[in-house]
Amino acid sequence: MLEGAELYFNVDHGYLEGLVRGCKAGLLTERDYVNLVQCETLEDLKIHLQTTDYGNFLANQTNPLTVSKIDTEMRKKLCSEFEYFRNHSLEPLSTFFTYMTCSYMIDNVILLMNGALQKKSVKEILVKCHPLGRFTEMEAVNIAETPSDLFNAVLIETPLAPFFQDCMSENILDELNIELLRNKLYKSYLEAFYKFCKNHGDVTAEIMCPILEFEADRRAFIITLNSFGTELSKEERETLFPTCGKLHPEGLRLLAQAEDFEQMKRVAEHYGVYKPLFEAVGDGSGGKTLEDVFYEHEVQMNVLAFNRQFHYGVFYAYTKLKEQEMRNIVWIAECISQRHRTKINNYIPIL
């Protein structure tokens, strides 16, 4: 696309941008969270959610209410909104939407393969799959025994196909290999998405690139953290890191050598963005976990995305914010239903 999206962005995408901004205004506010935290039962939660933009999305649920019912209904709502956006979108926004769904598709594929490994029935796992990442071929995933099988038989016609270039192998799919597959897929997915946004240029690139860079770096940190004490070799670890982040290339090389959390923290200290994040992490007892800190940073970036106009980032940001909100509600609902109120305030407020 040419420079100067301001001139003709609205011709194609103005309606959807207006819509997504309206939807964003419906996100729960601080006050709502304060009220939600005070709820005694899930019924109370439901009543309070009825006064927000969720409306009576739980009205047709028969008693008793469970957390998973709330979760499913919320996901359905998000999904219907997303489908609406997607059905009304034009190129290249529709490609952007496809890229957005890819991450959920990867998760679903991996979930199904794990399920097959544990000999669970497909139907059981299908319920757990994220509705945004649903595709027809998905259910046939467990036919495949090796990644190349998977690619050739099942995924060749899905949007996931291009991400398979790096992970064609004849390895048997065991738990470790599946995890490796996930990370490799994710790596090439993020890189492709990053490239797409970069090529698109304009405000979209200015907004989306930092978000995706952060996403890539977050994955690198998390992979490193999770690989401590496993049989994953350092060279292999490095191949899993997405290379489109700020850490690339020196930071990633250092991360690959890291052996414990302290070393990881030292790597992060070289970067102005990540230093404060790691400093915010509490030690062991109490304080925030690294995950929460990352989530908070993500929320902040997504909220800031709404300050600019004429770009696709708002759609990404909205979906992510909504997901965070759903995580918050589920967290609060879980705390309520398990009568575990001490940690109920550990949700991540959306500014």
Partner 1 sequence: MGSLFRSETMCLAQLFLQSGTAYECLSALGEKGLVQFRDLNQNVSSFQRKFVGEVKRCEELERILAYLVQEITRADIPLPEGDASPPAPPLKQVLEMQEQLQKLEVELREVTKNKEKLRKNLLELIEYTHMLRVTRTFVKRNVEFEPTYEEFPALENDSLLDYSSMQRLGAKLGFVSGLISQGKVEAFEKMLWRVCKGYTILTYAELDEPLEDPETGEVIKWYVFLISFWGEQIGYKVKKICDCYHCHIYPYPNTAEERREIQEGLNTRIQDLYTVLHKTEDYLRQVLCKAAESVYSRVIQVKKMKAIYHMLNMCSFDVTNKCLIAEVWCPEADLHALRCALEEGSRESGATIPSFMNIIPTKETPPTLIRTNKFTEGFQNIVDAYGVGSYREVNPALFTIVTFPFLFAVMFGDFGHGFVMFLFALLLVLNENHPRLSQSQEIMRMFFNGRYILLLMGLFSVYTGLIYNDCFSKSVNLFGSGWNVSAMYGAAHAPSERKKMVLWNDSVVRHNRVLQLDPSIPGVFRGPYPLGIDPIWNLATNRLTFLNSFKMKMSVILGIIHMTFGVILGIFNHLHFRKKFNIYLVSIPELLFMLCIFGHLIFMIVYKWLLYSAETSRVAPSILIEFINMFLFPTSETNGLYPGQEHVQRLLLVVTALSVPVLFLGKPLFLLWLHNGRSCFGVSRSGYTLVRKDSEEEVSLLGSQDIEEGNHQMEDGCREVTCEEFNFGEILMTQVIHSIEYCLGCISNTASYLRLWALSLAHAHSEKLAPSEEDDGEEETDS
Binding site for partner 1 (CB under 8 A): 35, 38-39, 43-44, 47-48, 50-51, 59-60, 122, 136-140, 142-143, 152-154, 156-157
Q: Closest separation between CB of residue 160 and partner 1, Å? A: 15
SS3 339: coil
- Considering the complex, state which of residue 39 and residue 232 has its C-beta at the smaller distance from partner 1: 39
- Considering the complex, state which of residue 60 and residue 342 has its C-beta at the smaller distance from partner 1: 60
Q: Closest separation between CB of residue 27 and partner 1, Å? A: 18
Tell me the C-alpha distance between 203 and 3, whole Å.
9
Q: Closest separation between CB of residue 139 and partner 1, Å? A: 4
Tell me the C-alpha distance between 331 and 70, whole Å.
11
Tell me the C-alpha distance between 334 and 344, whole Å.
9
Tell me the C-alpha distance between 308 and 8, whole Å.
16
Tell me the C-alpha distance between 201 and 220, whole Å.
25
Q: Closest separation between CB of residue 121 and partner 1, Å? A: 10
Using an 8 Å Cβ cutoff, are 44 and 36 in contact?
A: no
Q: Closest separation between CB of residue 68 and partner 1, Å? A: 20
- Considering the complex, state which of residue 63 and residue 307 has its C-beta at the smaller distance from partner 1: 63
- Considering the complex, state which of residue 19 and residue 39 has its C-beta at the smaller distance from partner 1: 39
Using an 8 Å Cβ cutoff, are 322 and 27 in contact?
A: yes
- Considering the complex, state which of residue 47 and residue 351 has its C-beta at the smaller distance from partner 1: 47
| Cβ partners under 8 Å of residue 2, min gap 6 | none
Tell me the C-alpha distance between 339 and 329, whole Å.
15
Q: Closest separation between CB of residue 79 and partner 1, Å? A: 18
- Considering the complex, state which of residue 35 and residue 95 has its C-beta at the smaller distance from partner 1: 35
